[in-house]
Amino acid sequence: MLTILFDGIAYGMLLFILGIGLCITLGLMNFINLAHGAFAMAGGYLAVVMMNSYGISIYWCLPAAFVFSALLGALLERTLYVHLYDKSHLDQVLFSIGLVFIAMAIVDYAMGANQQIVNLPPSLEGRIDFLGASIGVYRLFVIAICGLLTVGLQFVLAKTRFGSRLRAAVDDGRAARGLGINVTTIFALTFAVGSGLAGLGGALSTGIISLDPTFPLKYMIYFLIVISVGGTTTITGPFFASILLGVADVAGKYYVPAVGGFIIYTIMVAVLILRPQGLFTRSTSR
């Protein structure tokens, strides 16, 4: 029972880190970036290559994946995405889904279509017993990292000067510019951080789930569920939504395996009927 809860939380945390960048760009910057999963995939493949081909420790691979995806995100933001901020949502969707297919084709060509797996260091393998529950060490590691990141993100957005500038830039870009805030830089930075987090999530996920060129499409559904259930105006909304979905998914497959795969969708439908604005969104509209 505790083990199931734990596995669910670990899975949910992973979904959160993978999807939080999308929440930021969508909620704060009002930009639909369906190619978000491609950045996660980039981080994942970088980690795989570093670990398997060069034998570099996972503790170096994770920050490297963050930096790599963040730089990639910044580069694409400056060259491609920047032209689409003023365009309609449909244009943004079409553009970013196109990017997904390009990314998938590139990875397929460069790395092959087979599933990539990494061999974790012995210190992260195995299981420990905690209060009668058997817990995988790697999943504990994932929870710890994701938990720290969540606290850090919440702090930055709510308490720091950068956070308040970002919120100002989003709420009213013209007024923010008038006050001397460099909106362009703030958006670029935010986009890069969101992509970097996805890359980190992608690298972390290689230890649990499979990494192959279809990754961005496969997980896009999960990101979108997290966002539609959690709402995009806060960090905590998607966070609790991710945990809820992770736990419901794992518990559902455990207790009612016959319909397990559908539970996550059932929850989404129920939430959307009862609270179309998202489970954790404040009812004030912008």
Partner 1 sequence: MFHKGFFKGILGAGVALTLATGLPAIAQETVKVGLILPMTGASASTGRQIEAAAKLFIAQNGNKVAGKTIELIVKDDQGTADMSKRLAQELVVNDKVSILGGFGLTPLALAVGPVATQAKVPAIIMAAGTSMIVDQSPFFVRTSFTLPQNTTPIAVWSAKNGIKKVVTLVSDFGPGLDAEKSFKAGFEANGGQVIEQLRAPLANPDFAAFLQKAKDLKPDAVFLFVPSGQGATLMKQVAERGLAQAGIKVIGTGDVTDDDLLNSMGDDLIGMITSHNYSTDHNSPENAAFVAAFNKANPNMRPNFMAAGGYDGMALIYKALEKTGGSTDGVKLVEAMKGLAWTSPRGPISIDPATRDIIQNVYIRKVEKKNGQLYNVEFDTIPNFKDPTHK
Give CA–CA dist 108/90, Å, rounded.
27
Q: How far is the CB of 223 from partner 1 (least distance, A)?
A: 13
By CB under 8 A, tell whether 231 contacts partner 1: no
The rounded Cα 11 to chain-centroid distance in angstroms is 12
Tell me which of 57, 88, 115, 123 binds partner 1, using CB under 8 A: 115
Q: How many CB atoms lie within 10 A of CB 97?
A: 16
Residue 73, C-beta contacts closer than 8 angstroms, at least 6 positions apart: 39, 191, 192, 194, 195, 196
Instruction: Provide the token pair at 34.
Output: 């369906």
Shortest separation between residue 169's beta carbon and partner 1, angstroms: 35
Interface residue with partner 1 among 123, 134, 160, 182 (CB under 8 A) is: 134
Could you identify the residue written with the tokens 């990754």? 215
Query: Among 191, 219, 223, 239, which residue interacts with partner 1 (rule: CB under 8 A)?
Result: 219
State the minimum distance, in angstroms, from the CB of residue 132 to partner 1: 13
The reply to whether 239 sits near partner 1 by the rule CB under 8 A is no
- Strands (DSSP E) found in the chain: 127-130, 133-136
Q: Output the CA angle 230-220-286, nearest 5 degrees.
A: 40
Contact between 202 and 44 under an 8 Å Cβ cutoff? The reply is yes
Residue 15 or residue 227: which is nearer to partner 1 going by CB?
15
Residue 122 engages partner 1 in binding (rule: CB under 8 A): no
| 123 is a site residue for partner 1 (CB under 8 A) | no
Of 90, 257, 276, 283, the one binding partner 1 by CB under 8 A: 257
Which of these, 219, 201, 188, 178, lies nearest to 31 by C-alpha position? 188
Q: Which range in 31-39, 58-66, 207-215, 228-236 contacts partner 1 by CB under 8 A?
A: 207-215
Shortest reach from residue 143's CB to partner 1, in Å: 13
Count of residues making up the chain: 286
210 binds partner 1 (CB under 8 A): yes
Instruction: Name the one range near partner 1 by CB under 8 A: 27-35, 78-86, 255-263, 268-276.
Output: 255-263
Specify the amino acid at residue 121.
Answer: P
Does 91 contact partner 1 by CB under 8 A? no
The smaller minimum CB distance to partner 1, of residues 110 and 179, is found at: 110
285 binds partner 1 (CB under 8 A): no
Q: Select the span of 20-28, 60-68, 124-132, 183-191 touching partner 1 (CB under 8 A).
A: 124-132
Q: How far apart are CA 151 and CA 144, in angstroms?
A: 11
Rounded CA gap, 236 and 142, in Å?
A: 18
122: left (phi over 0), alpha (psi -120 to 50) or beta: alpha
Question: Distance between CA atoms of 4 and 253, rounded to whole angstroms?
Answer: 10
Give the x/- contact pattern for partner 1 in 11-50, rule: CB under 8 A: x---------------------------------------
Q: Which helix (H) or strand (E) holds 136?
A: strand 133-136
Q: Which residues bind partner 1 (CB under 8 A)?
A: 3-4, 7, 11, 108, 112-115, 117, 119, 125-127, 134, 136, 138, 208-210, 212, 214, 218-219, 249-254, 257-258, 260-261
